[in-house]
Amino acid sequence: MCGVIGLFDNENVVSKLYSSMLTIQHRGQDSAGILTFDGTFHLKKGNGLIRDIFDQKNIARLQGNIGIGHTRYPTVGEGSVEDAQPFWLNFPFGIAGAHNGNITNFFQLKKELNDKSKKIINSNCDMEVVLNVFAEYIEKFKNKKITPEIIFNAVKYVYKRVKGSYAVVLYIAGIGMLGFRDPYGLRPLLFGETKPELTNEKSIYGFASESTSLSVLNFDIIRDVEPGSAIFINEDKEIFEKKLSSKPHRPCIFEYIYFARPDSDLNGINVYSSRVELGNSLAKKIKKLKLDIDIVSPVPDSARTASIAIARKLKLKYREGLVKNRYIGRTFIMPEDNARKESINQKLNPIEAVFIDKNVLLVDDSIVRGNTSRAIVQMVRNAGAKKIFFASYSSPLTNPCFYGIDMQTKGEFIALNSTEEEIAKKIGADLVIYQDIKDMERSVRAQNKQIKSFCKACFTGDYPTGDITEDMLVQIENDRANNVKSKLNNKNK
Ligand code: AMP
């Protein structure tokens, strides 16, 4: 998963961009990059967290009013620094960009660009391919004035060739900044404007994966880029917008469940409020089970909001019995199982005084492989709990995500071909309770009924782009498994 931000300022943009990027660190902690433009491109990217990559020296070098920032967790490629974003090209124009999503026909496009157009794609990052496809279209107009119409047709060309999910921010040197979402609007992209302090200056414009990235900069107007639409800001800061595809909107439901920040509004839906609603609706199901529960306790952090809602609805005590060490990175993304298990214990610690002799309802956002859940159940048992009921406010996950969320191969899902009783046994809980899929969708949709359906492919296997064939599933799973292997090999070198 990734986060992207593009800012078109009136003054040096890098400090604004840097502070805004800190709000999308949770979307990718493997690498990050900043590109600015002041007549030439300046680029700095590296592996690790934003605070470790950028220092005063490279910030001083990143001059210009235009900037694109990116945080990355790779879903293709090995995560080497060559694959970090943003990317830029020099032909037919200077074009730079970054995206959030995952291109499902990446390997095919990489080959086609090489075989037919003799383009060399140096990285294993799908953004390089998007950039080249876009450039391939506008190359035909290299001796003409590049109008918004040409830009929009280039986006249409991208839609025709590039499959999967993508929320893209591009800057075409001396021509303007462009933001667009894939036809289904799978991944979020927000657009914002703010008036500068000096009245004779033009507005500052921005694109971002989450509304929070623009609200921390005090933007006055923040709205979604429509799915299948593009917004173009030319060098005179005139805005052009066009709907380029009429596919149904299918935003990713997992953004609301786990991924996005609670203070973000995506697709007209506030993430925090959707988690309250997910908690309320799961409480109804739990109530019917008439369980003997003493306390409701969240797995921090994402499950906190829903847990409070559940405790309130069920008129039960809410207790935070698991303490999270904030200084340890996400455990989920470590490729080796052992390292993952070990660091779960370092990451969470139980409070015995909370759990001892209690029947506990533990609440988490999801159960993926079950490694974290198993370790947590064990931890809470060791802390003296009598019964442990494990509730997930999302439905059972059974299918890999091909649109940018790190959910790898099918075999890794604990819920695949298992009953709830079997899952409970595997993670050591007395009972496992999942949210029903209809309730999950209804809860998130409650704030925006214009969205007819979400992408729930990781729960149902129904991929909205309609182009994920069995062969592709096998191929992409193999690619991913190989990536994990080579990451491991590189680590051992
Ligand atoms: P596990 O019990 O090992 O399946 O881990 C479940 C935990 O992983 C939950 O607490 C989620 O908050 C978290 N999680 C779910 N999806 C992801 C993801 N794509 N990346 C990182 N963590 C995730």
Q: Which CATH number fits domain 273-449: 3.40.50.2020, 1.10.3720.10, 3.40.50.1100, 3.40.50.300?
A: 3.40.50.2020
Q: Ligand 1: list residues with CB < 6 Å.
A: 258, 299, 302, 330, 332, 364-373, 405-407
Q: In this structure, what token pair is assigned to residue 447?
A: 């704030």
Residue 99 CA to ligand 1 center (angstroms) comes to 23
Residue nearest to atom 22 of ligand 1 (CA): 332
CATH 3.40.50.2020 domain residues, the chain: 273-449
343-360 pLDDT, tens digit per residue, is 678 889 999 999 999 999
Question: Hey, what are 331's tokens?
Answer: 């455990």
Nearest CA to ligand 1 atom 11: 366
Dist CA 217 CA 455 (whole Å): 30
Q: What is the mean pLDDT of residues 125-134?
A: 96
Give the pLDDT band of residue 493 (cuts 50, 70, 90).
Answer: very low
Could you tell me the CATH superfamily of domain 3-249? Aminohydrolase, N-terminal nucleophile (Ntn) domain (3.60.20.10)
At 45-95, the pLDDT tens digits run 999 999 999 999 999 999 999 999 999 987 666 678 889 999 999 988 999
Cα separation, 236 vs 290, whole angstroms: 64
The token duo for 222 is 């923040």
Atom of ligand 1 nearest to the CA of 427: 2
| Residue among 72, 258, 331 to mutate when testing ligand 1 (max atoms within 8 A of CB) | 258
CB 215 within 8 A of CB 165: no
Which residue's alpha carbon is nearest to atom 23 within ligand 1?
Answer: 332
* Distance (Å, whole) CA 246 – CA 228: 7
Among 2, 125, 252, 455, the active-site one is 2
Cα–Cα dist 124/110, whole Å: 9
* Tens digit of each residue's pLDDT (9 = 90 or more) over 447-468: 999 999 999 999 999 999 998 8
CA 368 / ligand 1 centre spacing (Å): 6
> Closest Cα to atom 21, ligand 1: which residue?
332
- Per-residue pLDDT averaged across 382-389, rounded? 98
Give the Å distance between the CA of 341 and the centre of ligand 1: 13
Q: 2 an active-site residue?
A: yes
CA of 301 from ligand 1 middle (Å) equals 11
